[in-house]
C-alpha cells in the first residue's frame, strides 16, 4: 500500500507559466498588487469616527469586496468560501478603502454580502448599461470614481434583482456614498437611484433592441444577459440563439451545489442526509450518483457545522463526480491523475479504491498540490495517494512508469462553470481559447505516453466548448491512431452520452455544471 509521498520533478519555466484552470489573465486593472482606488479627494473628506454604526455593514463590505475583485485580483468564490469572507482582515480592508469600520457582520449580513457581490458581478454589464443610460452625459459614467460606481451597482442590483424596499436602498446607499466619499457623491447616488425608481415604476427601463445583424444582436444580448460579446457570439454559433439565451440565464442564477459523502471515512449518504435534516438544510438525493446530495441553500450551515473541516463530505458538482465514474476506478488499480490539484476528482477516485492500489496525483502547481495532500489526510484516503509535483510534459518523458488508467482533467476555459464562478466570464478572453487548445493538445500527447498497452486514457474538461472537447479528442485521435474511443454508455446515465460516445453534461439540459469526458483505449 503506497503512502502519501511528495515527489518533485523539474519543469521548464515556459510551462510553469502555462495557463491553468484557475488562471486569471492579469490586466493592468487586476494585477494583485495594483493599488485599490480608495476614497475621494482628501480636501473634501470629513473627519469620521473609525467605527461607523450608521452605514449598513453588508453594503460597506460588499462595496469593498467588489473593489478587491475588480482592482485587487481577488477571486469572488475564494472570498465567499471562507465563510466569514476574508476573516479578521475583512474590516481592515473596509477601513483602508472607506476610511471607517462598521460593526461585524452577522450571518444574515454575510448571506446578503454573498448574494450582492455574486449578483452584482454577474449582472455588471447590464447594470452598467442602465447606470450609463441614466447619467446625464457619457463622460459622467466613463469618469466615475470606482467606489461610486460600485455603490451605484449595488443599489441598482438591490432594486432590480433583489426587489428590496426601494426607499431603504436609496437611503442606505446615499448614506454610504456620503461617508465613504463626500456629500456630493451621496447627492449623485440619490439622483440616479431615484431616476431608476421612476423608470422601473413606469415600466420604461432602457433596453437595447434585439435587431440588426448577428453582431448587433450579440451586443444587445450581451447587455440583456450580462455576458461578454465574444461568448454570446460563440454560443450562438455553436448552439443557436435560444440555447445561448438559456445558458446565459442559467449562468446568472444562484448556483446550486452538491455534496459528496466521504465513504472512506465511513460516512454514508444516509449519514449526510441525517446531518442535513438536523441542520434544517433542504436537500435532495442525486439520481445520478449514489454518494451525492443536492442542496440549493444552506452551504454556510454545512461549513459552520464542520462537516467539510472534518473530512466527512466535500462540495463537489455531480458533473465532476460523473467524470470519475467515466474513469471507473477499482481497488488494486494503478492510476495517474495528471492534472490533479486541488484534488476534487483525486479524492473521489481514492475513496472508490478502498485503500487498495496506487493513485498518483500529479500537478504543476505546488500550492494547490499541498491542499490536495492535506485534504487527502483529512478524508483518510492518503494511504493510496502519492503526490507528484511536476510538469506533465517533463514527467511523461522522464519516467518509465505506465498506468492502467490515466485521467487528464485538463486546464480549460471553465465555460461550463460560470454560474459558480461569478467573475470568470469577465476574466476570460477570446485569445485564451487558442492558447488553451494548444496546451490541451500538448498535455494529451504527454498523458498518452503514460498509458500502458490495453490501458485507458480519460480526457475531461469543465467546459462546454466543442473546440476544447470533441475537437481536441478528434485531433488527438488523428495524431494517435493507437487509441480509439470507448463509449461511456456503461458508466453514466444515457442522457449524458453523446452520439459519439462521449460524456457531456449541460447546464441547460441537466441543470448541472457543464463538463465533458472521453474514454480513449490504447491498443
Ligand atoms: C482543471 S484543473 C484540475 C482540477 C482537478 N482535477 C480537480 O478535480 O480538482 C487543471 C490543473 O492542471 C494543472 N496544470 C496546468 N498545466 C500543467 C502541466 N503542464 N503539468 C501538470 N499540471 C498542469 C493546473 O495546475 C491545475 O491544477
412 as an active site residue: the answer is: no
Q: Whose CA is nearest to atom 15 of ligand 1?
A: 20
DSSP string for residues in 11-74: --HHHHTS--TT-----TTT-TTSPPP--S-GGGPPP--SB-SSS-HHHHHHHHHHHHHHHS--
Residue 214 cell numbers, joined: 448577428
Q: Measuring CA to CA, which residue among 453, 465, 355 is closest to residue 406?
A: 453
Query: How many angstroms is it from 23 CA to the middle of ligand 1?
Result: 10
Q: Is the peptide bond before 342 cis (omega within 30 degrees of 0)?
A: yes
Q: 62 with 120: CB under 8 angstroms?
A: yes
Cα 409 to ligand 1 centroid, rounded to whole Å: 7
Interval 40-87: pLDDT, tens: 444 445 555 588 888 999 999 999 999 999 887 776 665 555 444 445
Residue 341 labelled as part of a binding site: yes
pTM of full prediction above 0.85: yes
Give the span between the Cα atoms of 384 and 350, in whole angstroms.
7
Identify the residue with better confidence: 324 or 87.
Answer: 324
What distance in angstroms lies between residue 341's CA and the mean position of ligand 1's atoms?
6
pLDDT of 204 above 70:
yes
Per-residue pLDDT tens over the stretch 424-455: 999 999 999 999 999 999 999 999 999 999 99
pLDDT in tens, 234-279: 999 999 999 999 999 999 998 989 999 999 999 999 999 999 999 9
What's the pLDDT at 89?
78
Q: What are the pocket residues of ligand 1 if the criterion is a CB atom closer than 6 Å to any ligand atom? A: 15, 18, 20-21, 320, 339-345, 362-365, 368, 391-393, 409, 411
Going by pLDDT thresholds of 50, 70 and 90, the confidence category of residue 91 is: confident
Cα-Cα-Cα-Cα torsion 470, 472, 474, 476, nearest 10 degrees, comes to -150
177 is in an annotated binding site: no
Which atom, in ligand 1's list, is nearest to the CA of 320?
8
Q: Rounded to the nearest whole angstrom, what is the distance from the C-alpha of residue 410 to the centroid of ligand 1?
A: 6
Among protein residues, the one with the nearest Cα to ligand 1's atom 11 is 339
Distance CA 260, CA 493 (A): 18
Q: Is 342 annotated as a binding residue?
A: yes
C-alpha cell at 212: 440588426
Q: Backbone phi, then psi, for 339, in 5-degree steps?
A: -130, 75
Amino acid at each position: 500500500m503506497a503512502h502519501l509521498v511528495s515527489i518533485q520533478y523539474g519543469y521548464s519555466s515556459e510551462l510553469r507559466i502555462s495557463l491553468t484552470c484557475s488562471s486569471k489573465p492579469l490586466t493592468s486593472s487586476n494585477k494583485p498588487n495594483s493599488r485599490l482606488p480608495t476614497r475621494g479627494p482628501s480636501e473634501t473628506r470629513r473627519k469620521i469616527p473609525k467605527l461607523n454604526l450608521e452605514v449598513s455593514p453588508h453594503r460597506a463590505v460588499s462595496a469593498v469586496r467588489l473593489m478587491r475583485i475588480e482592482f485587487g485580483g481577488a477571486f469572488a468564490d475564494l472570498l465567499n468560501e471562507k465563510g466569514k469572507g476574508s476573516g479578521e482582515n475583512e474590516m481592515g480592508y473596509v477601513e483602508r478603502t472607506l476610511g471607517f469600520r462598521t460593526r461585524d457582520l452577522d450571518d444574515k449580513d454575510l448571506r446578503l454580502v454573498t448574494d450582492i457581490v455574486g449578483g452584482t458581478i454577474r449582472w455588471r454589464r447590464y447594470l452598467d448599461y442602465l447606470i450609463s443610460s441614466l447619467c446625464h452625459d457619457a463622460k459622467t459614467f466613463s469618469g466615475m470614481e470606482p467606489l461610486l460606481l460600485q455603490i451605484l451597482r449595488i443599489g441598482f442590483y438591490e432594486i432590480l434583482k433583489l426587489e428590496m424596499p426601494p426607499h431603504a436602498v436609496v437611503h442606505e446607499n446615499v448614506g454610504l456614498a456620503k461617508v465613504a466619499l463626500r456629500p456630493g457623491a451621496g447627492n449623485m447616488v440619490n439622483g440616479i437611484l431615484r431616476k431608476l425608481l421612476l423608470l422601473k415604476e413606469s415600466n420604461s427601463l432602457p433596453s437595447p433592441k434585439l435587431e440588426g445583424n448577428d453582431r448587433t444582436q450579440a451586443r444587445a444580448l450581451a447587455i440583456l444577459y450580462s455576458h461578454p460579446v465574444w461568448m454570446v457570439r460563440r454560443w450562438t454559433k455553436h448552439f443557436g440563439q435560444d440555447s445561448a439565451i438559456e445558458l446565459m440565464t442559467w449562468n446568472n442564477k444562484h448556483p446550486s451545489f452538491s455534496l459528496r459523502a466521504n465513504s472512506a471515512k465511513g460516512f454514508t449518504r444516509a449519514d449526510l442526509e441525517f446531518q442535513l435534516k438536523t441542520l434544517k438544510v433542504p436537500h435532495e438525493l442525486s439520481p445520478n450518483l449514489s454518494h451525492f446530495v443536492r442542496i440549493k441553500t444552506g452551504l454556510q450551515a454545512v461549513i459552520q457545522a464542520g462537516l467539510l473541516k472534518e473530512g466527512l463530505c466535500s462540495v463537489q458538482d455531480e458533473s465532476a463526480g460523473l467524470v470519475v465514474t467515466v474513469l471507473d476506478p477499482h481497488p488494486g488499480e494503478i492510476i495517474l491523475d495528471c492534472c490533479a490539484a486541488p484534488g476534487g476528482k483525486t479524492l473521489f477516485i481514492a475513496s472508490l479504491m478502498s485503500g487498495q492500489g496506487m493513485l498518483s496525483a500529479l500537478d504543476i502547481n505546488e500550492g494547490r498540490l499541498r491542499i490536495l495532500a492535506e485534504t487527502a489526510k483529512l478524508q483518510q484516503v492518503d494511504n493510496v495517494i502519492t503526490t507528484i509535483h511536476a510538469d506533465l510534459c517533463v514527467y511523461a518523458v522522464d519516467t518509465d512508469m505506465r498506468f492502467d488508467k490515466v485521467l487528464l482533467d485538463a486546464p480549460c476555459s471553465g465555460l461550463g462553470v460560470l454560474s459558480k464562478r461569478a467573475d470568470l466570464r469577465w476574466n476570460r478572453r477570446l485569445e485564451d481559447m487558442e492558447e488553451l487548445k494548444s496546451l490541451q493538445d500538448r498535455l494529451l500527447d504527454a498523458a498518452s505516453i503514460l498509458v500502458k498497452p490495453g490501458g485507458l486514457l480519460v480526457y475531461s474538461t469543465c467546459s462546454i466548448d466543442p473546440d476544447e472537447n470533441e475537437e481536441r479528442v478528434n485531433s488527438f485521435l488523428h495524431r494517435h491512431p493507437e487509441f480509439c474511443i470507448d463509449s461511456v454508455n456503461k458508466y453514466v446515465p444515457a442522457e449524458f452520452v453523446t452520439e459519439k460516445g462521449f460524456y457531456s453534461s449541460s447546464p441547460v439540459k441537466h441543470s448541472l455544471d457543464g463538463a465533458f469526458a472521453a474514454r480513449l483505449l490504447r491498443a
